Every structure is written in structure tokens, then in C-alpha cells.
Amino acid sequence: MTRKVVITGLGATTPIGGDVPTMWNNALKGVSGARTLEDDWVAKYELPVHFAARCSTPALDVLSRVEAKRMDPSTQFGVIAAREAWADSGITEIDQDRLAVAFATGIGGVWTLLDAWDTLKEKGPRRVLPMTVPMLMPNGVAAAVSLDLGARAGAHTPVSACASGTEAMHLGLELIRSGKADVVMCGGAEAAIHPMPLAAFASMQALSRRNDAPERASRPYDTARDGFVMGEGAGALVLEAEEHALARGARIYAELAGTSVTADAYHITAPDPEGLGATRALKAAMFDGRIQPEDVVHVNAHATSTPVGDKPEYTALRAALGTHVDNVAVSATKSQMGHLLGASGAVEAVLTVLAVHERKAPVTINLENQDPEIPLDVVTSARDLPAGNIVALSNSFGFGGHNAVVAIRSV
């Protein structure tokens, strides 16, 4: 008998809200978190992209100065989201040897790494801070969350570019099913709004250059989409063995019914145009959760707003769900908050859990002329989801050909 895994706590800090209630309200309203960057480095380095979607609540408004000093910005966001999710779960007592962490990042401590390099060049090795290594290491966020919670059943850091946050959910589910943990703090964190990653993503033509209208730049499925908008932040979810949650009388949001991870083995960055890897991931997650296409009422799509990325996901959805795809309410929430890279899967999982729990699908903004090659039923104003037993899927795909899917079922 496979252990059933449920979700009992949610946390987030994002460009459209510094906590889950604020984010969710905005996600249903349809707002944009993208803004023109006021930093002097935009002009100094002549960056081709002048905007991004920063967290609406700065980390230093939440953490103490001393606490923040020892964390890379990505870890700061992760710890903020994890604390909210932990408090939300209501867990007060736990066997710490049975509590694990699976907290992902796409890039890790890029601010710390590059600041330290600047310091080395400008001031010499003596001024490179002794906290540099633990702050820049990609496992820094998982380690900080583990320390914060006293989680001793392992602290893991799945890294698969923009699929990382969803892969953390996959790992968390496996840890509980296999009996290695009873509770897992899952999530993803990213803070890469730094001139170097902006230059690098722009160099590969991945970013929108709609500098005159940042709020309209992230437009998944629109014919005028021209790239993604860099976002930042973190999402966190408390996964719990059902019997553990029931024993303590926990509020259960939804079941994490199935997950999957596949690899395209097609190209290092380009998605397989036929979406074969994504199709296998969708089918595998549904098989894992014993889900029929007709059970699925909502998809939180990966949909980053790049010209080449949005369509193969549609192809994969049609291949996995068949004609039922026409009945599924699809939300592309990156239209609102940009692309949080390694955190995106975790934040979108939070939104998907809420969609199932509250039975409402969040909004896709900036869809003015829907690409005729992507005839999905896109949610452009908040929509009620049906009563009864429902399932929602959340997709994430990452450079490297990573595909990850989570399936959330109502309880």
C-alpha cells in the first residue's frame, strides 16, 4: 500500500505578494509584478533588458539584519517562504529525525558569488568574507531551512534549471512514500536579478525586450510574446504522510497525488518541438497518481512567454489529455509574476494547491491575441472550478531538457 501524501502548509514570497494570502488575492485579480529596474547597473552595463519582477516585499522587511547578513538573497527568500509554510501547517511537535527538506534552486547564490569576485578584484583576498562559501553553495537554502526547522532526515537540493522547484516536490513525495521521512519541507528559491544573469539570459534571446511596457511584457500564448520576464522569490509546501496529518488533526489542503520527472535528451536548451519529453512526464505523473484525463480540470502551465516554448507544452497537453484538453482551464501565472526560474515550480505548486482547495483558477494577463496554434482554454478572469473530486496539474520545464509535473487532487 503506497503511503498517501498530503499538503498541509503553504508559504511564498513573490513579485505579486510577500505571503500566500496576498499572492493568491493578486493571482485571482490579475496584476503584474514587473517593473522598470532603477538600478544604476542597467545603464552602466548597457543591458538590453531594463526590467524584471522583484519580490514585492524586500527580504529585509521580514528578516533581521544580522540574520540576513549570513544568507544569500535566494536563501533569504527560501527561509521566509519556509517559515510561513511551517507556521501554516500548525505543526508544533515533530520527531526531527523524520522531518526532511527538499528545497531547490536553479542557480544558487549568484549574488554572493559575483559580489565576492568583485571584492577580490577591488580589495584583495583578505576582504572576501568567510561566509562566502556557505552563502554561494546551491544547497545553501536547503541547509538554512534544515537548520531553521531542525530537520534531520536529510536536506536535499534538486537542481534542474527551471524545473527545480517541481522536482523538489517529486523528491519530497518519494521521501515520504519510501518511508524515509514523515514530513518534508519542499520548495524552491531564486534571486538572480543581477546584471550578469540578465545579460546572459538576454544573450540567448530568452528575455522579453518590451522595455517601454514591463507590465505587458510577460504574455504567454499571445502572438506578440517575445520572451520571459525575470522574476525572483520562493515558494514552500509542507508535504506530510496522510496518517501523520490525520493523527494531529491537521488542516489538509489537497493530496499530492502523483509526480514525475523526465528528460528530453534532445537539445541542451531548445524544447523538443513535439513535446515528447513533456508528454511522457504528464502521462507518468497521471499514471503515478492513478489519474484519468477526465479527472483533470485545471493546469498551471509552464508557459514562460517565449516564442518557441509555449507551443510544445500545448502539444504535450493534447497528447496526454486527448480531446479532454479542450475542457481544461489553463492558467499561465508567469504572465503576472514573471519567471522565478528554480522557484517557479514551487510557487506554481502553491497556486495549484490553492486552485484545487479554493476551487478557483488564477488569471492569465496580457493575452490580447491568442496564438491560433495554441487553442487552449486560457483563464483570463478568475474562474470557478467544479465541485467533486478534481485534479490539477502543474508543469515545469528546464534548460537541459528537464520536464517535471505534479498532480494535485482534492480531498
Say if CB 317 and CB 376 are below 8 A apart.
yes
Among 1, 38, 46, 65, the residue binding other proteins under the rule CB under 8 A is 65
Taking contact as CB under 8 A, which single stretch among the options 12-20, 128-136, 205-213, 228-236 is the one that binds other proteins? 128-136
* DSSP-assigned beta bridge partners for residue 364: none
Among 43, 129, 204, 270, the residue binding other proteins under the rule CB under 8 A is 129
Q: Looking at beta carbons only, is 125 or 388 nearer to other proteins?
A: 125
- Under rule CB under 8 A, residue 66 binds other proteins: yes
Among 64, 93, 122, 323, the residue binding other proteins under the rule CB under 8 A is 64
Say if CB 383 and CB 329 are below 8 A apart.
yes
Taking contact as CB under 8 A, which single stretch among the options 22-30, 83-91, 122-130, 222-230 is the one that binds other proteins? 122-130
Q: If binding means CB under 8 A, how many residues of this protein chain bind other proteins?
A: 10
55 is catalytic: no
Q: Looking at beta carbons only, is 76 or 366 nearer to other proteins?
A: 76
Taking contact as CB under 8 A, which single stretch among the options 63-71, 262-270, 350-358, 362-370 is the one that binds other proteins? 63-71
Nearest approach in angstroms of CB 66 to other proteins is: 4
First to last CA, the chain: 19
267 is catalytic: no
339 is catalytic: yes
Taking contact as CB under 8 A, which single stretch among the options 32-40, 60-68, 290-298, 328-336 is the one that binds other proteins? 60-68
Burial of 40 (0-12, 13-18, 19+ CB in 10 A): exposed
What is the distance between the alpha carbons of residues 388 and 410, in angstroms, rounded to a whole number? 8
Cell, residue 88: 501554516
- Under rule CB under 8 A, residue 121 binds other proteins: no
Residue for grid cell 525586450:
209
- Diameter over CA atoms, the chain: 64
Three-class secondary structure of residue 50 per DSSP: coil
Q: CA angle at residue 302 from 293 to 6, to 5 degrees?
A: 60
What is the distance between the alpha carbons of residues 184 and 151, in angstroms, rounded to a whole number? 9
What is the distance between the alpha carbons of residues 153 and 270, in angstroms, rounded to a whole number? 37
Cell, residue 233: 522569490
Q: Looking at beta carbons only, is 129 or 246 nearer to other proteins?
A: 129
Say if CB 408 and CB 258 are below 8 A apart.
no
* DSSP-assigned beta bridge partners for residue 52: 35
- Under rule CB under 8 A, residue 180 binds other proteins: no
Taking contact as CB under 8 A, which single stretch among the options 27-35, 121-129, 288-296, 339-347 is the one that binds other proteins? 121-129
Say if CB 306 and CB 334 are below 8 A apart.
no
* Catalytic, out of 55, 156, 162, 186: 162
- Under rule CB under 8 A, residue 323 binds other proteins: no
* Catalytic, out of 194, 244, 302, 357: 302
Q: Looking at beta carbons only, is 32 or 112 nearer to other proteins?
A: 112
- Under rule CB under 8 A, residue 69 binds other proteins: yes
Residues forming the site for other proteins (CB under 8 A): 64-66, 69, 126-127, 129-131, 134
Annotated catalytic residues are: 162, 302, 339
